[in-house]
A and B are shown apart, each in its own frame.
Chain A
Amino acid sequence: DQQVKQNSPSLSVQEGRISILNCDYTNSMFDYFLWYKKYPAEGPTFLISISSIKDKNEDGRFTVFLNKSAKHLSLHIVPSQPGDSAVYFCAASFAGNQFYFGTGTSLTVIP
């Protein structure tokens, strides 16, 4: 059973606009969440994280929001750039041990 879900397999956004990628989880024990970015034929790279004691974490153009009551997190990219085109995975864990991954959202930023 998929504990972390990304219901949008793909997203297209114009350059300069906001990209919003969504992720839902089912296990209320999860207390640490990450977003990874992945280019084709490469391993995922860490992008940004958030712990359950926060509801927002910002790093440059990237902001992750956590809504614990809704078991939902989102990644905002502002402004979106063509180099942001990649597959984005959200991941969740309990106590930082095994991470459970979503199925990924393929973002295309159109110049």
Chain B
Amino acid sequence: DGGITQSPKYLFRKEGQNVTLSCEQNLNHDAMYWYRQDPGQGLRLIYYSQIVNDFQKGDIAEGYSVSREKKESFPLTVTSAQKNPTAFYLCASTIPGGAYGYTFGSGTRLTVV
């Protein structure tokens, strides 16, 4: 079955550490996105990529980095520069002009301890 897989589901990070969240899709979608969800804030766009080897900053890119070396993969690194990284992170993908919007992964809950 086609879909998006995010791993791990839960992640704990010590302050000052970088962590990488995985996102893999087998839908043959060109565009991939990372969102962050905080209570009462909805979904905020961190980074997006519409094609391999190209990506753009979203609304809250500071403290995050991404890569898009393969069509199927769009990992997100939460760096130590991100001051408030505890959140629920969602990865999504779509075809350009996607008539059905995004397909989302099941999310990663990151907690700083």
Contacts and interface: CB of A to CB of B under 8 A. Distances in A.
Interface of A: 6, 9, 32, 34, 36, 41-46, 49, 89, 91, 93, 95-99, 101-104
Given A43-B104, A45-B104, A96-B98, A89 B48 contact: no
B110 to A, nearest CB: 13
Nearest to A91: B101
Q: Is the interface of B mostly helix, strand, loop or mixed?
A: strand
B105 interface: yes
Contacts, number: 62
A89 B37 CA distance: 12
Contacts of A89: 42-43
B90 A44 contact: yes
Contacts of A49: 99-101
Kindly state the interface size class of chain B when it binds its partner: 20 to 34
* 9 A-B pairs closest in CB distance: A43-B104, A103-B42, A96-B97, A101-B43, A34-B101, A43-B106, A96-B98, A44-B104, A101-B42
Contacts of A103: 40-42
B27 to A, nearest CB: 13
A36 B104 CA distance: 10
Interface centre among B31, B42, B45 (most CB of A within 10 A): B42
A91 B45 CA distance: 13
B109 interface: yes
A10 B103 CA distance: 25
